[in-house]
Amino acid sequence: MAVATSRINNPKRILAIKFSSIGDIVLTTSALRTLKNIFPSVKIDFLTLDNFTTLLEGSKFIDRIIPFERNAGFSKLVKTGRWINNSTYDLVIDFHNSLRSKIIRFLIINIPKRYLKKPYWKRFILFRFRKNIFPTDFSQLKLLHQPIEEWLNEKYFPLPELFVSEIEKKQAVKFLREKGLNKSYITIIPGAAWPQKRWLVDNYHKLFNELKNHKNVDFVILGGKNDDICNEIAKYDSKFINLQGKTSLRESMAIIAKSKYVIGADTGLVHAAEALGKRVVSIFGPTSRETGAGVSRNDSISIENNDVWCRPCSQTGKRKCYRDEQYCMTTITPQIVLSKINEGGLI
């Protein structure tokens, strides 16, 4: 017992597990920063899905990124769990607590473990009975520090942080110049995993028209291959630089890092923008801080209608709206967003 206590109170090597997705991985870097502050000499390895490894390149808080095949089956999970169990880690922290990570964790018997306890019941009561029993200071950053709370000396949760090199930034500037962009720009990230989380195309058009009247800026639109909303928005003005599906994750991060600020939905790249030091204007519909949504920076702008009784309705926002109109989104007008941007000093 004394040896085990010594291992976890003075760990030399820690394995952190968080398989997905972009936004959740980004937010987890806050807890990794805390671990590095508590244990300055510790080596932290990070196990995540192979399609997200580039997100964490250059991190000061991760010494080794371990990719896990996205489509790997049960046998790979067993093999990974056994490999970890026979490794020299002093502590394994499961920041995901998914079925996949639970299988791996079950096979680890030789190493002390900690894992994230998700607020399933609180969310069930909120969604089913519309009763909010979450503490007023709840946040996703606080939740992600729960597995390491025994080592916390103070309730301070550092901002998530990602890294982009100067070379990557210069390449982004060159790339945009080749597209005809030679002045400052605002990055737009309108896509989201579920349509219920996307603001209306027409609202974006009206907002951009107002922003152009206030400031001489251009707009760069980022999105994945399936984010068709990017094309719909880009039709509004041929001068918009629509990069939907045309940039890698690292290229998108570099473009974000060079922008004035970011406007977008509740989606991973918006979280990444904050972790790159950018202020964001994020529009929230069916999700809220109780579901893990929200902004991290004090100077970022969260736009949401807290007077809609049915909000939030699901953790990820994937539940189809059961009302005649999705009021959590339709009541957020371009005028409201513009006013918030103005109040935040971004105009």
Residues 190 and 257 in one domain: yes
Q: Mean pLDDT throughout 287-312?
A: 97
Residues 110 and 218 in one domain: no
Task: List, as one string, the DSSP characters of 224-245.
Answer: -TT-THHHHHHTT-TTSEE-TT
**What share of the chain in percent tops pLDDT 90?**
92
Do the domain assignments include residue 15? yes
Cα separation, 18 vs 27, whole angstroms: 10
Cα separation, 33 vs 60, whole angstroms: 8
Q: Mean pLDDT throughout 171-176?
A: 97
Residues 201 and 285 in one domain: yes
Residues 100 and 65 in one domain: yes
Q: Which domain holds residue 47?
A: 2-151
Question: b or e along 207-243 (b: 16 or more beta carbons within 10 Å of the residue's beta carbon)?
Answer: bbebbeeeeebbbbbbbbeebebbebbbebeeebbbb
pLDDT value for 206: 95
- Decide which of 119, 151, 183 is a domain's last residue: 151
Sequence-ordered strand ranges (E) for 76-117: 91-94, 113-115
The total number of structural domains that make up the chain: 2
Tally Cβ neighbours within 10 Å of residue 325. Answer: 9
Residues 139 and 234 in one domain: no
Q: Residue 286: is its pLDDT beyond 80?
A: yes
pLDDT in tens, 31-82: 999 999 999 999 999 999 999 999 999 999 999 999 999 999 999 999 999 9
pLDDT in tens, 211-255: 988 777 899 999 999 999 999 999 988 779 999 999 999 999 999
Query: Model-level pTM?
Result: 0.95
Residues 78 and 202 in one domain: no
Do the domain assignments include residue 157? no
- Decide which of 88, 122, 151 is a domain's last residue: 151
Spatial CA neighbour of 285 closest among 209, 225, 226, 200? 200
Cα separation, 252 vs 269, whole angstroms: 8
Spatial CA neighbour of 106 closest among 180, 234, 14, 98? 98
Q: In what order do the strands lie in the sheet with 64-68?
A: 64-68, 43-49, 13-17, 91-94, 113-115
Q: Residue 155: is its pLDDT beyond 70?
A: yes
Do the domain assignments include residue 10? yes
Do the domain assignments include residue 138? yes
User: Which residue did the predictor score with more confidence, 155 or 22?
Assistant: 22
Do the domain assignments include residue 161? no
Q: What 3-state DSSP class applies to 71?
A: coil
Residues 74, 79, 82, CA angle at the centre, nearest 5°? 125
Residues 115 and 224 in one domain: no
Quick one: DSSP state of residue 199? P
Residues 141 and 173 in one domain: no
Do the domain assignments include residue 156? no
pLDDT value for 152: 93
pLDDT in tens, 119-150: 999 999 999 999 999 999 999 999 999 999 99
Cα within 13 Å of Cα(290), Cβ side:
22
Is 3 exposed, middle or buried (CB count within 10 Å of its CB: 0-12, 13-18, 19+)? exposed
The CATH number of residue 29's host domain is 3.40.50.2000
Do the domain assignments include residue 146? yes
- Decide which of 122, 151, 180 is a domain's last residue: 151
Task: Dig out the tokens for 289 from the structure.
Answer: 């801080």
Residues 128 and 97 in one domain: yes
Residues 172 and 301 in one domain: yes
Per the prediction, the chain carries an average pLDDT of 95
Residues 332 and 276 in one domain: yes
Do the domain assignments include residue 347? no
Spatial CA neighbour of 43 closest among 83, 5, 87, 82? 87
Residues 111 and 200 in one domain: no
Q: Residue 28: is its pLDDT beyond 60?
A: yes
pLDDT in tens, 78-125: 999 999 999 999 999 999 999 999 999 999 999 999 999 999 999 999
